[in-house]
Amino acid sequence: MQLQQNISLKKFNTFGIDVSANYFLQISSVDELAEYFDYKKLSSPLSPLPTCILGGGSNILFTKNYEGVILKNNLKGITIIKQDENHIYIKTAAGENWHSFVMYCVANNFAGVENLSLIPGNVGASPMQNIGAYGIEIKDVFYELEAFDIEDKKLVIFNKQDCEFGYRESVFKRKYKGRFVITSVTFKLNKNPTFNTSYGAIEQELEKMQVQQITIQAVSQAVINIRRSKLPDPAAIGNAGSFFKNPTVIASFFTKLKMHFPAIVGYELPDGNVKLAAGWLIEQCGWKGYRKNDAGCHAKQALVLVNYGNAGGDEIVELSKQIIESVYQKFNVILEREVNII
């Protein structure tokens, strides 16, 4: 292991926040992971320090220098572990780039993740966040994952039920936060695709593309086109994608909101509740396109907070607080951040 000191984290987080870490270590195998936590236990300089597991850095907002150890998950590898008549099971290391994994599946006609194209980040974060887009969530294609138990120093297998998936939620964000390091995820994908094109503008984009026959490749490209038209590229403008979750309200409250705000956007859920479009709520409060110094709300998608260059994480957090307060005052709805604040 090569432990580095005082390393800038600017290139390791998609917000591009310029902070540093006291210690930085890149992990390329499960053995190195186990070695690190043994070393941390025995080594007096590191033993009292916190550890932050960093993947693609796409769902994190640093507000200050990290006075601990940043453990960069660089585990790599994609392996087909088994298949049957209808499904194929692909084990993917946590450090693989998510979009690259999706493109691998699309190229090989493995269906199920095409609607999740161009989502930033790494594979390891996908079940932690239960990432989702355009009618698909990780739980829909998830089979199992392996995670290193920091306390017991061993690998543990989690099935779908163990993960307790919810909307952008799993046991790894709450009950087991900080205890496990996800090392690989196995996905159950389809050999015979069932396309989900009714959500968002996929059908319109497919028409625009003049697609005659729907394929995995066409759906993936449609999603990529839509995301590129609405969302800023982190390489050009620092951001972490959607900053807030879409809030859920009971149907009777949505009916009251609809009376006062006829154009309000809401989607009925299977349990009878209604999911509101957080971006619409934020836009109605006048934040879309707002900018103060280098912190702002994106001009094309109000759900995305951005760093135009040299904003500090604390400036982004303050802006998010103001947005949360204004949405609550106008709609009596509380927005919840999707991004992890450190």
Nearest to 255 by CA among 230, 273, 278, 242: 273
252 belongs to the catalytic site: no
Per residue in 185-195, pLDDT tens?
999 999 999 89
240 compared with 1, residue with greater pLDDT: 240
pLDDT digits (tens, 9 = 90+) for 195-212: 988 876 898 899 899 988
Q: Does domain 4-73 have CATH number 3.30.43.10?
A: yes
Query: At 124, is the pLDDT very low, low, confident or very high (cuts 50, 70, 90)?
Result: very high
The two beta strands, 60-61 and 340-341, are parallel
Residue of 146, 168, 227, 315 marked active site: 168
Domain with CATH 3.30.43.10 in the chain: 4-73
Please give the pLDDT value at position 145: 98
| Catalytic site includes residue 338 | yes
Instruction: Tell me where in the chain the CATH 3.90.78.10 domain(s) lie.
Output: 238-341
Q: Which of 114, 137, 205, 338 is catalytic?
A: 338
228 is catalytic: no
Q: Is residue 322's pLDDT more than 90?
A: yes
Q: Choosing from 242, 315, 320, 337, which is the catalytic residue?
A: 242
Q: Give the model's pLDDT for residue 291.
A: 96
The CA distance from 208 to 55, in Å, is 35
Give the other-Cβ count within 10 Å of 89's Cβ.
17
Residues of the chain with CATH 3.30.465.10: 78-230
Nearest by Cα to 184 from 209, 203, 158, 161: 158
Query: Can you tell me which residue has the tokens 């601990």?
Result: 68
Statement: the pTM of the whole predicted model exceeds 0.85: yes
Which listed CATH number (3.40.50.720, 3.90.1150.10, 3.30.465.10, 3.40.50.1970) goes with 78-230?
3.30.465.10
How many beta carbons lie within 10 A of that of residue 132, not counting itself?
18
CB burial string 298-318: b at 16+ within 10 A, e below: beebbbbbbbbeebbbebbbe
- Tens-digit pLDDT profile for residues 211-262: 889 999 999 999 999 999 888 888 889 999 899 999 999 999 999 999 999 9
> Which listed CATH number (3.90.78.10, 3.30.365.10, 3.40.50.620, 1.10.3720.10) goes with 238-341?
3.90.78.10
Mean pLDDT across the stretch 287-309? 95
